[in-house]
Amino acid sequence: MLDYDARFRMIFAYSDTESRTYLANTAKSQYLEFKQLLEPNMAFFLGNEKDKLKETVKLTDKILLNDEVFNTLNTPNYRNESKPEKGEKLEDRWIDIHKAILYVLIKDMVVRANFKIYTRFSEFAVAADVSKNGPAASHHYADSLLKTAPGELMPYYYALQDGNNEESKVAIKTLIDNYKTRTGDLYAQTLALYERPNTLLVSPEGQKDDLQLKSKYASSKVWQDALIREMPETEKFAIMTVPNDRPDLHNNIYIFGKYMRAKKGETPDITFRIVSPGLTGVDFGRIRKVPVGDNRYGYVSTIIYYCPIKIEVVNKAGEIEKTLIVIDEGKEFRQEFHENFVRPIPNYTGVIPFRNDTLYYDALDKFRGSTINRLYNERFSEMTVAMAQWLNDAYGYYKVPNNFYYLYDVKNPENGFQEIKALVDSTDYAIEHLETQETSLANKAVLARMLEKYQEILQRPGISQNVKNLCARNSVTCALLSDQVTRALYLLERCKAINPKDSNVKPFNLSSFVFRTLFDDKNQKVVKLPPRSELWKY
């Protein structure tokens, strides 16, 4: 393709019929060879590549296989009469063909800048062939092109230093030197260079033809299956508190699954026993005087207490299979004891000290029991969301609410980024189909494969910053949604290191997945639930 493209574009540098006809005939011959080779191999191309190839063939047929148009090349100065400064009509049409060729010759190139390297080599190779084999009238312009070849090609050689092995560097430098000294068959040498795999690679850092990013927002509810044990429809479960004097405290804990909650009188197959002695080590502290303004003082104290809570997972035989430490027995809590705490003012949460010590001691005597009960209820209720999510992640299922998951997409896949574009499209499709039990498992597997693809690209030498940004961010999303949450958190830190300015790396609801990191070791008998501040810090 590059050969007949370069030959046809050279036509417009000549005004004599002999040179133009020679170039047109050799371009047509090269095109027919290309077309004959293309047809039996079309099945090996991707859908979008096939479309571009067909478009190129259609455009080129209109010129090189149309005798009426082809014969007009015998007429020098075939100009656009209304706008002669625009050049020849066919020259304008060939620009469209040249662009179409550009789009289909970039599958194995890092960036479109590599296409420019190929086209420059092709221009000089055709010039060398015309200078050697073309009619005498065409030699002068071809020779003038060849004189500029070493100077034109050397900047590409320097740009290729990072992306090529030593063997390729030597081959490229040798060819450039041969252009300088006109040594050997330059046309054949250039064709031989094309046949070397991965010869012309260039680091795209800072080039205008780099991958261009755009944001994509994949939306889905995410079906999360049980990580420890999925109970069948025939099994039943129960939730109870020990001591069982406050069953209302666990009324807001739901476990979703095919199995049902055991009814009264039924023996559950598994029991989630919430064990808490209530508040322990309660100390209302010493009364202290605090200023309230205008040389006035009030009275408060600090309540120190502990509220250990754990969940024991008990099987039908009464054996404890796993224990979750919800609040460790050594975790200390503090609460200011003041007027607004015992007699709350609506819509006001500030501290109001007691006006005198008598009022303080009266409130302490009157509200001691209700305060302890209130603190216990508040602390327990605060943890019900965490307990419910833990139980659903481990033994039920949990559907993460519908949310958007950031991806980077490719604006210019035609510039050699079809592979990355295909990865993004596959990632997007898999995310959009995570919300049902029937489709989630297969699509999580797809996301796991996409993750490894992104990571493989990140290891390639000479990739641009934008390629790094895309692969790093999309890796986080793939890991998160394929049940590799711990790895997602690691990749999140790597992503921040690669692109500190990217504020959209973190998924909005990352904390909804962090609970699942507790089950990286499924055989762990005792699991300590981190503080909520740790789980929700994301």
Rounded to 5°, the CA angle 106-109-115 comes to 60
Give the span between the Cα atoms of 132 and 235, in whole angstroms: 86
pLDDT value at 313 more than 70: yes
φ, ψ dihedrals at 467, nearest 5°: -65, -40
Determine contact, residues 234/260, Cβ cutoff 8 Å: no
Report the range of poorest mean pLDDT among 2-6, 293-297, 420-424, 448-452: 2-6
Task: Please tell me the predicted confidence (pLDDT) of residue 100.
Answer: 65
Distances (CA, A) of 5 to 15, 40, 98, 99, 295: 19, 22, 7, 10, 93
Q: What is the pLDDT of residue 204?
A: 42
Tell me the pLDDT of the chain averaged across its residues.
Answer: 82
Write the DSSP assignment of 2-60 as a string of letters: HHHHHHHHHGGG--SHHHHHHHHHHHHHHHHHHHHHHGGGGGGS-HHHHHHHHHHHHHH
Residue 332 backbone dihedrals phi, psi, to 5 degrees: -95, 140
> What is the rounded CA–CA span in Å between residue 3 and residue 121?
10
Which pLDDT value is given to residue 206? 38
Look at residues 507, 391, 415, 429 and name the one whose alpha carbon lies nearest to residue 466.
415
Check residue 329 and give its pLDDT: 92
Burial state string for 100-122 with b = 16 or more CB within 10 A and e = fewer than 16: bbbbbbbeebbbbbbbbbbbbbb
In whole angstroms, give the CA distance from residue 49 to residue 510. 37
How does pLDDT run across 513-532, given as a tens digit for each residue? 888 888 878 888 998 887 66
In the predicted model, is pLDDT for residue 132 greater than 80? Answer: yes
Quick one: tokens of 23? 């170039």
Question: How far from 530 is each of 41, 184, 254, 323, 360, CA to CA, in Å?
Answer: 58, 73, 21, 14, 36
Please state the pTM of the whole predicted model.
0.54
Confidence at 208, pLDDT banded by 50, 70, 90: very low
Backbone torsions φ then ψ of 12, nearest 5 degrees: -75, 0
Joined tokens for residue 223 = 């079906």
Q: What share of the chain is helix, strand, coil (3-state, %, to 5)?
A: 55, 15, 30
Residue 197 has pLDDT above 80, yes or no: no
Contacts of 334 by beta carbon, 8 Å cutoff, 6+ apart: 302, 303, 304, 305
Beta pairing, strands 260-261 & 236-242: parallel
The pLDDT assigned to 207 comes to 43
